Amino acid sequence: MTTQVTTAARFHVLIPARLSSSRLPNKPLADICGLPMVVRVARQAQRSAAAQVVVAADSPAIAQACATHGVRAVLTDPEHPSGSDRLAQACALLGLEGDDVVVNVQGDEPLIDPALIDAVANTLHQHPSASMSTAAHPISAYADYLNPNVVKVVCNAQGLAHYFSRAPIPWCRDQADTPWWDRHPDRAPLRHIGIYAYRATFLRQFPLLTPAPTEQIEALEQLRALWHGHAIAVHTTQSAPGPGVDTQEDLERVRQLLQQAGG
């Protein structure tokens, strides 16, 4: 299923790409049906309404692979401790500032839905009080609700995030051992989707903020924004995202999906 959205507001896509990966070495350059993975991601992002799509590379090898396939890239410091630091430098290199909206598309999401990119950007434009926006979809499987690797988010009436957690939230006091949302589908817990839009000024400041205690406990960087009082708007879609690539098994799965689709 495709996320439906109408886009009018201007935004930019940045794709952080790091060559070293403990689980899948040289991951951005992994071949997927004849193209490096980072190029696959960029081409998906180019199908969105973004004003520009730029890869924030940590290696000349990634930058060269992008250039070979007509994808713009900027070279960033290979010693950056996080993707946020890499994106902040890319913003500076590209002259993005103020209320410029920047969407962070992860470099290991070759099946990212372009409409989801548009929707997350629009959500930030529609919430002027927010510094960031992200996405979520309703959880259907009870095992996902309990799984700490599945991040959950709870929102308020304005569609702003209350909290993100690896714990099963919200927790139903009177029906905790079953999927209680079967009786109340409109109250289903939300699974966080790891795509973000930022205002450029905030993105450039974010790496300088003190890490939050909750961020360190949960290992969720977005909690730093909430801890410092920044609002995060959440776009809710009924569609689960396509699979990302963290392992060799993930890579083979995506290759098969694209081959089946005539990739």
The values of phi and psi at residue 215, to 5°, are -60, -45
The answer to whether position 4 is within a domain reads no
Which pLDDT value is given to residue 5? 45
Q: 91 lies in which domain range?
A: 12-260
The values of phi and psi at residue 64, to 5°, are -70, -40
- DSSP state letters, 108-153: T-TT--HHHHHHHHHHHHH-TTEEEEEEEEE---HHHHH-TTS-EE
The answer to whether position 192 is within a domain reads yes
Q: Is 158 exposed, middle or buried (0-12, 13-18, 19+ CB in 10 A)?
A: exposed
What are the residues whose beta carbons fall under 8 Å from the beta carbon of 185, sequence distance 6 or more? 138
The answer to whether position 185 is within a domain reads yes
Work out whether strand 152-155 and strand 52-57 pair parallel, antiparallel, or are unpaired.
unpaired
Which pLDDT value is given to residue 182? 87
The answer to whether position 154 is within a domain reads yes
In this structure, are residues 138 and 156 in contact, taking their beta carbons and an 8 Å threshold? Answer: no
Which pLDDT value is given to residue 186? 85
The answer to whether position 5 is within a domain reads no
Q: Tokens at residue 90, please?
A: 């890319």
Which pLDDT value is given to residue 6? 44
The answer to whether position 3 is within a domain reads no
Which pLDDT value is given to residue 2? 44
From the CB of residue 157, how many other CB atoms can be counted at a distance below 10 Å? 5
The values of phi and psi at residue 154, to 5°, are -115, 135
Which pLDDT value is given to residue 242? 87
pLDDT per residue of the chain (263 residues) written in tens, 0 to 9? 444 444 457 999 999 999 877 778 899 999 999 999 999 999 999 999 999 999 999 999 999 999 999 999 999 999 998 888 999 999 999 999 999 999 999 999 999 999 999 999 999 999 999 999 999 999 999 999 999 999 999 999 999 999 999 999 999 888 777 898 988 888 899 999 999 999 999 999 999 999 999 999 999 999 999 999 999 999 999 988 888 998 999 999 999 999 888 76
The answer to whether position 2 is within a domain reads no
Which pLDDT value is given to residue 238? 92
The span from the CA of 38 to the CA of 112, in Å, is: 12
Which pLDDT value is given to residue 250? 93
Which pLDDT value is given to residue 8? 53
Predicted TM-score of the model (pTM): 0.92
Q: Structurally, how many domains does the chain consist of?
A: 1
Q: Tokens at residue 126, please?
A: 């529609």
Helix 37-46 and helix 114-126, axial crossing angle in degrees, nearest 10? 60
The answer to whether position 238 is within a domain reads yes
Any idea what the CATH number is for the domain that residue 144 is in?
3.90.550.10
The span from the CA of 178 to the CA of 166, in Å, is: 18
Which pLDDT value is given to residue 1? 40
